[in-house]
């Protein structure tokens, strides 16, 4: 009896051999979930140690390793300790690190950001000697370096002066590239920043230095622990005039397209988990690698919930990173990089 006849639709003309009864025609996707090995075999999204970039905070001093209270397991480290952390990261198979400087002195322009003896510049030189196989990424911004905590030069109305800030970004990009940065990552969301930095790097014969643009960076509530770590909380106001409104996605696609047109080699979406839809749409639109930053607030929430026994730390860590990769991230900046690398290496 055919399936149509079994459903009461009458015999089908020119019937062939009898088909299976309808109870055997029910789809059974659970068959492929029965064992851990089967689930691994058909898994669509696989995490790898190659997926992760480790963010690091570097401070002045020697033998300094201070835990960030709002980010357990994350430390501010002096150059010597940072070099040890980078050797460990390289041994774990993590391909790269991104550096954020926490200088001792700050001023209205953030001049320490482009000092030849700056904290990140010295760290880059040390990492290149200690872990030459590690990709060295330098964050390009001024919020850690200015005494007002904003991401550039302020005008008379206490707003960030876009074009004056571009000139300083060029200086910072050249200085960090001179010190050994292989990738510079402008994060201030200034208009025209990629074109300005690309031109400056090329003129300074750093045409092989790549630009990872924070093309889609939202004015998010999830940055609080980072600001504790970097000492970069604005002294007044907020960053809503240059970072993006969390309600917008068309604007994100426009920002991404502009940065690719200006010469960005890679793009970033930040934060990650609250913006997976944006990540997917950016990934579908551009033809350069796209990454996501699992930011400090995302990290801190998982740890806090795990410490209270509300969630399983390891499962939540793995699931959150898998979701980010599934949404389209070619790689992920995450404070969980070492923990995940150890799990994947086991």
Give the burial class of 306: count Cβ atoms within 10 A of its Cβ; 0-12 exposed, 13-18 middle, 19 or more buried.
middle
> Is 217 one of the catalytic residues?
yes
Cα 123 off chain centre by: 20
**How many C-beta neighbours within 10 Å does residue 163 have?**
12
Structure tokens at 108: 């209205």
Contact yes or no for 56/124 (Cβ under 8 A): no
The structure tokens 């399983």 sit at 312
* Sign for the pseudo-dihedral over CA of 119, 237, 194, 264: positive
Distance CA 54, CA 70 (A): 18
| Residue in 106, 217, 283, 325 annotated catalytic | 217
The CB-side HSE value for 95 (13 A sphere, CA atoms) comes to: 12
Give CA separation, 37 vs 48, 85, 235, in Å.
18, 34, 53
Q: Which residues pair with 183 in a beta bridge?
A: 137, 210
Closest CA to 229 of 83, 73, 102: 102
DSSP states along 28-93? -GGGGGSSHHHHHHT-S----GGGEEEEEEEESSSS-EEE-TTSTT-EEEEHHHHHHHHHHHHHTT
The structure tokens listed for 3 are 């399936």
| Catalytic-labelled residue, pool 270, 283, 285, 325 | 270
Q: Give whole-number Cα distances, 234 to 92, 154, 298, in Å.
A: 36, 12, 20
CA 193/CA 198 separation, integer angstroms: 8
Active site residue 270: yes
Residues classed as catalytic: 217, 270
């Amino acid at each position: 009896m055919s399936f149509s006849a079994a459903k009461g639709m009458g015999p089908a003309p020119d019937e062939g051999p009898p088909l299976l009864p309808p109870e055997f025609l029910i789809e059974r996707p659970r068959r492929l979930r029965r064992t851990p090995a089967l689930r691994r075999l058909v898994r669509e999204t696989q995490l790898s140690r190659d997926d992760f970039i480790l963010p690091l905070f570097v401070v002045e001093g020697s033998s300094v390793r201070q835990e960030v209270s709002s980010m357990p397991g994350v430390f501010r480290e002096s150059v010597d300790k940072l070099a040890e952390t980078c050797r460990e990261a390289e041994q774990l198979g993590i391909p790269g690190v991104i550096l954020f400087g926490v200088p001792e002195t700050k001023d209205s322009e953030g001049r320490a950001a482009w000092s030849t003896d700056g904290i990140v510049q010295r760290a880059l030189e040390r990492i290149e000697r200690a872990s030459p196989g590690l990709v060295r990424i330098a964050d390009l911004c001024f919020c850690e370096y200015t005494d007002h905590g904003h991401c550039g030069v302020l005008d008379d109305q206490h707003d960030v002066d876009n074009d004056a800030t571009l000139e300083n970004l060029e200086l910072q990009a050249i200085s960090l590239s001179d010190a050994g940065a292989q990738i510079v990552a402008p994060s201030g969301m200034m208009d025209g920043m990629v074109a300005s930095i690309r031109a400056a790097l090329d003129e300074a014969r750093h045409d092989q230095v790549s630009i990872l643009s924070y093309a889609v960076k939202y004015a998010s509530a999830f940055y609080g622990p980072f600001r504790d770590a970097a000492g970069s909380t604005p002294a007044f106001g907020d960053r809503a005039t240059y970072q993006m409104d969390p309600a917008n996605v068309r604007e994100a696609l426009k920002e991404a397209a502009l940065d690719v047109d200006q010469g960005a080699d890679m793009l970033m979406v930040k934060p990650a988990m609250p913006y997976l839809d944006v990540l997917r749409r950016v990934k579908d639109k551009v033809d350069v690698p796209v990454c996501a930053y699992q930011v400090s607030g995302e990290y801190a929430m998982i740890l806090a919930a795990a410490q209270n026994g509300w969630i399983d730390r390891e499962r939540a860590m793995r699931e959150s990173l898998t979701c980010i990769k599934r949404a389209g991230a070619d790689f992920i900046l995450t404070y969980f990089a070492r923990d995940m690398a150890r799990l994947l290496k086991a």
